[in-house]
Structure formats: C-alpha cells, structure tokens
Amino acid sequence: MRGRHKKWAAPYLAEHPELVLAPIDPKDPFFEAPSLALEIGMGKGDFILGMAAKNPTVHYLGLERDSSIMGTAAKKVEASALQNIRLRAADFDFAYEEMGSLKFDRIYLNFSDPWPKKRHWKRRLTTKERLLKMGALLKDTGEIVFKSDNVDLYAFTLEQAPLAGFSILDATANYQLLPEDVMTEYEKNFRSQGKAITRIRMAKSTAKSKL
C-alpha cells in the first residue's frame, strides 16, 4: 500500500546526504563494519530503528522505493541519533546495481508487497531471479529472513527459495515473536487484528544452519 504523497519528503532526503545515500557507495567507510544488514522495503522505519538500537555494532542499510514513506523513516532515524543506519530511496532492482561488492550478514524482507494477481507475480521480491541477486549480496554464512501476513506469498517464497540455491533453515505459518526480533508497523497492526504471521529463514545451500 502506497503512502500519501508528501511534498516535503524529497527535499528533506536530499538535504541529509549523511543519512540518505544517493547513490550507495560500497567504498563508504560505513560499510567497513564487521557486520552488515540490509532491509528491503523498510517502510516507516520501525524495524530498522529497533534492530539498530538492539545491535549497535551492526550497520544497517534500509531501502524504500516510496520517497514519501522514506521521508517519514528518515525523520525518525535523524531524531534517534543512531549512527549505525543509512538509507536509500530506491527499489531493490535499482539499488542492487549500486551495492556491487557489499556483503551482508542478513537481509530482511518484512511484509513485502504480495502482488496477489497472477499476472503480477514477477514483481514479487522473492522470485528466483531476485533471490539470486540477494544471494550474491550475502556472506557465505549469511541469511535472508522473511516475514509476511500473506500465506500465498509465504508459499511462493518457499517454492522459489530452493530454485535460487537456498536452503530453508526454518519456516512457520504462525510465527511467535522472538526476543531478538522487532515488529514493523504492519506487524503490530496485523497482530492486533489476530492475524497469523509467517516467517522463513533461508541460507545459501553451502551454509550450515545456526539453529
């Protein structure tokens, strides 16, 4: 679901190059941290802010294609004064070309657009082709963590993952929040409505499970 257009958002993002990257530069010292994480489709930033606060030694990069939504997230990040977050207002396919040699320990896919119509399935983030790109951005021991309220996208992702060379470390159609995890705005709303949350952890097939 797209947010309401905010005229102030694009200028605000442009005025904060120390936080909002345009473009992503893999040689930026920010990415020299020993542990890197990427959230694709970060929405209003609740998840990335919570994770960055819990894990101050991990550096987080958040992608969001909607500049109005990104504007709201960027304001939250600026107000938090956390130094281990950077943002990019771009979709994954575009940002992938910029990330180049970057290697992440974890990639988070939180409540991605399910694109429910059959003719739109190629737009989903978890197609084989996009998962292959994500695999190229992962360290050998890295993981992708997927959460959704949409059971069809959950099933689709379980189907596509092995086609892209991933092993399923664990998967559940009724995920109970773990202490180290953080809820997104969507997850809070869905749980308040009694909706079940699905979750998948996957890794390159050569990686060992950390269960």
Residues forming the active site:
113
Residue 56 CA to residue 65 CA, distance in Å, equals: 25
Q: Distance between CA 82 and CA 79 in Å, rounded?
A: 8
Structure tokens belonging to residue 47? 């998840």
The span from the CA of 166 to the CA of 143, in Å, is 9
Distances (CA, A) of 31 to 81, 89, 137: 18, 17, 13
- Entry field: residues in the chain: 211
Tokens representing residue 184 in the block: 């997104």
Q: What contacts 50, CB < 8 A, 6 or more positions away?
A: 182, 183
